[in-house]
Structure 1
Amino acid sequence: MKKTAALLVAGSMFAVATPAMAQSSDDDNFSGFRVEALAGYDVSQAGSTVDNDANPNDDQSIDGLSYGFGIGYDYDAGGVVLGVEGEFAGSTAETEFDDGDFENLGIGNVETGRDLYLGARVGVKPADDLLIYAKGGYTNASYNIRSDDGTTQYDADLDTDGYRLGAGAEYALSDNTFAKVEYRYSNYSDAELDFEGDAPDVAVPDIDLDRHQVMVGFGMRF
């Protein structure tokens, strides 16, 4: 599933970018290749099918700082701006015990690992230096599952697949620099446990994790 989704997105990126590269974007604030640094607020929580509504005191979310970088290519088609993009990020979010209450995501004691995204966006320009856009695509995130019974430490990566939707605003600071802010929602419904060494991976059916992020970015165009 992961390889198929990644190939489909990569093919879409190539199909959009190929005709666009043949056109000049020197005079446009939102055309061309871009790289960006990203940071923001990151929350992972139990989805609606696994949350514990019976106990309102049960903390079912973890939060922290998300940080990473992105690359992309945009093409100004006149009325709309079309783009493809990819991201690599990390997060400081992890489960904790708060006054004896364990943060229960439904998947155990975890810390958030790397966060991958491949997708596309489409936007409109209310002004020459402002882009309002929506985005969507494939996301893959890892959560490190850990436990310790006093004798043996257990450690494995929960490798999750899902989709991401979002919206944001990008402002051109100059001809080749920009800043942006965006909100994105991700849902992970497919996963497998990846063990160290020669142990085979194990499929984990019917997971349901929601992720909410508010991100800011600063980048350059080429």
Structure 2
Amino acid sequence: MEYPMRKIMVATLLAGSAVASPALAQDAGTTFTGPRVEAILGYDHTGAGSSVDNDNGNDDQSIDGLLYGVGAGYDFNLGSAVVGIEGEFTDSTAKSSRNPFTDQFGFGRVSQGRDLYVGARAGILASPNTLVYVKGGYTNTKLNVLAGDTDETTDTSFKLDGWRVGAGVERAFTPNMFGKVEYRYSKYDSAQIDFMDGATSSEFDIDTDRHQVVASVGWRF
């Protein structure tokens, strides 16, 4: 009686494994694919690029703050690799100090405004639920001119155009919920001024760098 019982138990386990294996394979295949949205939070640093040398001991050449915003994208799981497109809208608390009055890396006293990004990413699956990736694309940001030595923004602003590259790690907690940690570098090389009266300057060359370290939590549909 014992021997048949063992055969029944082994057969039951094998049947369960046969059912579970396709299910696990299906879960792995549906991870990192489809549309996604996410909330973004992290560290933001904007400053003078390598071609700007105004360090005379008095000029504050960078601003730092808290980056926050939202992102969205669409990914394609190719098996061992993932490719996708993505976009972001973020803002930042970074702004010039009020004392002493500084030229702020060539822009005067400013606060970091909204940032728009659109690009693509590609990565490899380090495990069924861990993606390591690189990214790149176009970025356009805004620097709001501050009034005198106050924190009040004026209606004059700089709009900066440039490109962004980065790298990160994404972890799928479930087939729908995920978290990311990411570093990004942005280089802005052209700008224009939007004046208070609605006029716009011609485009001119700049050299402004931006470094960000961010974490994201998101949901796939």
- 1-side partners of 2:59 and 2:193: how far apart? 25
Residues 32 and 52 (structure 1 numbering): CA distance in 2 closer, same or farther, change over 3 Å?
same
- 1-side partners of 2:86 and 2:132: how far apart? 16
Residue type of the partner of 1:52? Answer: N
Cα shift at 1:78: 1.9
Q: Which residue of 2 aligns with 1:173?
A: 173
Secondary structure of 2:30's match? coil
**2:64 counterpart of 1:68:** no
- 2-side partners of 1:138 and 1:179: how far apart? 23
After TM superposition, the structure 1 stretch with the greater mean CA deviation from structure 2, 26-35 or 78-87, is: 26-35
Aligned length in residues: 194
Q: Higher Cα Rg: structure 1 or 2?
A: 2
**2:211 counterpart of 1:212:** yes
- 2-side partners of 1:35 and 1:221: how far apart? 7
- 2-side partners of 1:220 and 1:145: how far apart? 36
Cα shift at 1:103: 6.6
- 1-side partners of 2:154 and 2:174: how far apart? 50
Q: Which of 29, 34, 42 matches 2:44?
A: 42
- 1-side partners of 2:219 and 2:95: how far apart? 32
Cα shift at 1:101: 6.6
Q: Which residue of 2 aligns with 1:125?
A: 125
Secondary structure of 2:206's match? coil
Residue type of the partner of 2:108? Answer: G
- 2-side partners of 1:149 and 1:48: how far apart? 27
**2:114 counterpart of 1:105:** no
Q: Which residue of 1 aligns with 2:184?
A: 184
Q: Which residue of 2 aligns with 1:93?
A: 94
RMSD: 2.3
- 2-side partners of 1:26 and 1:124: how far apart? 13
Gaps of 5+ in 1: 1-23
Q: Which residue of 1 aligns with 2:33?
A: 31
Residues 149 and 218 (structure 1 numbering): CA distance in 2 closer, same or farther, change over 3 Å?
closer
Contact 1:165/1:184 (8 A) holds in 2: yes
- 1-side partners of 2:57 and 2:88: how far apart? 35
Cα shift at 1:123: 0.3
Contact 1:95/1:103 (8 A) holds in 2: no
- 1-side partners of 2:82 and 2:68: how far apart? 26
Gaps of 5+ in 2: 1-25
Deviation track 1:73-132 (CA, whole Å, cap 9, x = no partner) reads 00011231001000000000000045x373722111101110100000000001001000
Cα shift at 1:147: 3.4
Q: Which residue of 1 aligns with 2:17?
A: none
Question: What TM-score, normalized to structure 1?
Answer: 0.80
Contact 2:109/2:146 (8 A) holds in 1: yes
Deviation above 6 Å: which 4+ runs of structure 1? none
Query: In percent, how many aligned pairs have the same letter?
Result: 50
Question: What TM-score, normalized to structure 2?
Answer: 0.81
Structure with greater helix share of residues: 2
Residue type of the partner of 1:89? Answer: T
Contact 2:104/2:110 (8 A) holds in 1: no
Q: Which residue of 1 aligns with 2:161?
A: 161
Residue type of the partner of 2:208? Answer: L
- 2-side partners of 1:154 and 1:175: how far apart? 46
Contact 2:28/2:128 (8 A) holds in 1: no
Cα shift at 1:146: 2.8
Residues 147 and 56 (structure 1 numbering): CA distance in 2 closer, same or farther, change over 3 Å?
same
